[in-house]
Each structure stands twice: as C-alpha cells, then as structure tokens.
Amino acid sequence: APEGENQPSTDVDLFVSTEKIMVLNTDLQEIMMDHSLRTISYIADIGDILVIMARRRLITSPDDMLGRRRRQAKILCHVFESDE
C-alpha cells in the first residue's frame, strides 16, 4: 500500500487447478475471486508475496457487437502475503 494507506486484508485459502485459480475467504467460506487460467496474464512468487494479475471478464452489449463502442480490458491485481 502507498505510504499512509491501509489495504484491506483477510485470511484466505488459495486453490489452483488446471482450469482456474480460486480464493476462498477462510472465515465466511465465501468465494472472493475465481479466475479462469486463460485470464491470468502474470504471476510472481517473491518470497512471502504472491502477485496475480488477471483480465476482468468483459460483458458485451448489443452496441458492442455492432462496433459502436470499443471497450478496453481491465486488469485486476491481487497481492497475497503468507507467513509460510
């Protein structure tokens, strides 16, 4: 986090399969993140830090299909820290 800012944090379980990466909130047993491996553009394992960058799913509207509106893909960045 930038100096003077706090980022939200919670305990999570990270599941990785041959199809997707999923993050489950340990306390609520709720899915917080579910990305197909095809949307993952970057993964870095730096000591006790794991960084995952993924393209956000774009929802296309009929106007998008007609070429009236161009949409740029959004990138999500998830940063995980582990004591292990």
Residues 50-83 have pLDDT tens digits of 999 999 866 666 665 566 566 677 898 989 988 8
Asked if the structure places residue 30 within a domain, the reply is yes
Q: 39 burial class (0-12, 13-18, 19+ CB within 10 angstroms)?
A: middle
pLDDT at residue 39 tops 70: yes
Task: Identify the domain containing residue 52 by its residue range.
Answer: 12-81
* pLDDT number for residue 44: 95
| Residues in contact with 22: Cβ distance below 8 Å, sequence separation at least 6, in sequence order | 14, 15, 31, 33, 34, 35
Q: Does residue 64 sit in helix, strand or coil?
A: helix
How many separate domains does the chain show? 1
Report the DSSP pairing between strands 20-25 and 40-46.
unpaired
- Residue 37 included in any domain: yes
